[in-house]
Structure formats: C-alpha cells, structure tokens
Amino acid sequence: MTNDDRYISQEEKAIIQKLKSEMFNALTVEHMKFYKKEIDKIYDQAERREAFLEKMEKREHENPIREFFM
C-alpha cells in the first residue's frame, strides 16, 4: 500500500507527522507497529472520504430532477 498525500487534509498531515515522530521514539516494536497502523488508518479514511465525495458529486450531476425541486 502506498500512502498518497493527495487526499490528506492539513490537520491529518499534522497528526501523521506527530505519529511518525512518536514511532521513531518508540521503545518497542509493538509500539512502532501501533503508530504505523494508526497512520495507515488515517490514509485509508482519507481515501474512502474522497471516494464517497466523488460518488456523491457524480450522483448529483446524474440527477437533474433534484435541481428542479430545489
């Protein structure tokens, strides 16, 4: 899995940077794995959020009747 910063917000970037610094200061491998998992979760969530937004935009453009009633 590649971590792509395209979908990451500024807040998420700050959190990831903090998690990376904590990961490098971790005392055990288990702690390092924990921080890595948390970073991966943030990237996964950002990708899912972007896919959802794209899906909603696509639906909005495909359904012109909705605009008629609004």
Residue bearing the bigger pLDDT, 52 or 58: 52
Residue bearing the bigger pLDDT, 40 or 60: 40
**Helical spans, DSSP H, in the chain:** 10-24, 29-62, 65-69
Closest CA to 35 of 24, 46, 51: 24
CA distance 19 to 43: 13
Residue bearing the bigger pLDDT, 6 or 66: 6
pLDDT band per the 50, 70, 90 thresholds, residue 2? low
Say if 64 falls within a structural domain: yes
Say if 3 falls within a structural domain: no
Q: How many domains does the chain have?
A: 1
Say if 17 falls within a structural domain: yes
pLDDT in the model for residue 59: 84
pTM exceeding the 0.85 threshold for the entire prediction: no
pLDDT in the model for residue 68: 57
pLDDT band per the 50, 70, 90 thresholds, residue 20? very high
Expressed as residue numbers, the domain containing 44 is 9-69
